[in-house]
Amino acid sequence: MATLAPSRPAPLATTPGVRAAAVRHLGPNWYASVMGTAIVANAGAALPVHVPGLRTACAAVWALSLAMLLTLLTARSLHWIHHRDRARAHLLDPAVAPFHGCLSMALLAVGGGAMTVGRDWIGLPAAVALDTVLFTAGTVTGLAAAVAIPYLMVVHHRIESASPVWLLPVVAPMVSASMGPLLLPHLPAGQAQQTLLIACYAMFGVSLLATLVMLPLIFGRLVTGGPLPLALTPTLFLVLGPLGQSTTAANTFADTAPGLLPAPYGQGFAAFAVLHGVPVMGFALLWLALAGALVLRARYRGMGFAMTWWAFTFPVGTCVTGAEGLARHTGLDAFRWLAIVLYVFLGAAWLVAALHTARGLLGGTLLAEPGR
């Protein structure tokens, strides 16, 4: 989601050499488009309302996210093979390095989608196999990013002020925490299931505590430094990610823990889901209002499209899944309608970001050298 708005088109990828050149400026922020697409499918599958054809549409969107993931994995591999200087520069750039956490979340979101809606098309055995691979790879890369990126920030980066993109590496373990329980029914009963559930709960803690450390820095940056630059203003929506995802994870634990953990811990997760989720969702709505007001201000002042617009998708989608979980465990229509309203916003945001991204790719501007 780094700002990429050059004016000169990139060359068409017609030969292997030209294809390699075309991905020279392809950064890890592009994985946000995969995340934003997969969450449309995942959130739509659990929407607490019956819409004819919605599940089929969600399966189609999931298939698109899988194709996007495979394409980006290939393109990023070319980037690392042929443009290692740029890859190293991305790691040492404090504005770009945090986006390496997006790889993990893209893998996890697509893997989770295989279990929720993808199985309708590829079958349950294939969905379990695919999710096992993507969940394992996503969790390993997410935990690595949660350590490596903060290390680079301390040792190599010279940072003038806090940014919402700092949350990207540390929120990845929370996505693992919410997606891992989907595999529990397919593990041997007993130690294997309990170990995965407790590991997911531990990753919940890793991400939540890291988020609580960073949020005051981000808000402090806003009140002392003023609004973010126009193109970066959409990144304020990234704060919604750990809030909505932690609510989603807590509700997922409540769905799966009974019967796996001994009393009172198994039943305790049901209470925890509500006691944690309701106040966190309340803060998420407060932040949504603040971030929305700042985005409208930036738009009025001429904010144009950049890949940062994908921040309007995945973070909002986690709030949709969080509201869906609270609707299940509280029985309140308020959360049901909240999930529906947020999903409508998510769908509109995805359409806008996807259309602008496709236009930028066809025009060659999004993959051209920044600043040209």
Please report the pLDDT score of residue 90 as a whole number.
86
Q: What is the pLDDT of residues 141-197, one digit of tens each?
A: 999 999 999 999 888 877 778 899 999 999 999 999 999 999 999 999 889 999 999
pLDDT of residue 38: 97
pLDDT at residue 367, as a whole number: 76
Output the pLDDT for position 364. 78
pTM metric for this prediction: 0.91
pLDDT at 291: 96
pLDDT tens, position by position, 3-43: 444 444 444 344 455 456 677 778 899 999 999 999 999 99
Chain mean position to CA 320: 13
CA 85 vs CA 76, 88, 90, 228: distances in Å = 13, 5, 9, 29
CB under 8 Å to 51, separation ≥6 — which residues? none
CA dist list (Å): 69 to 3, 37, 158, 328: 21, 10, 32, 31
Domain ranges of the chain: 19-363
Q: What is the model's pLDDT at position 23?
A: 75
Is 28 strand, coil or helix? helix
- Residue 241 CB coordination number (10 Å): 29
Q: Which residue stretches of the chain have pLDDT < 70?
A: 1-21, 369-372
Tell me if 36 sits within 8 A of 313, measured CB to CB.
Answer: yes
CATH hierarchy code of domain 19-363: 1.50.10.150
DSSP secondary structure string, 259-292?
TTB-TTHHHHHHHHHHHHHHHHHHHHHHHHHHHH
pLDDT of residue 161: 80
* pLDDT at site 84: 86
Report whether 313 contacts 35 (CB < 8 A): yes
What is the pLDDT at residue 211?
95
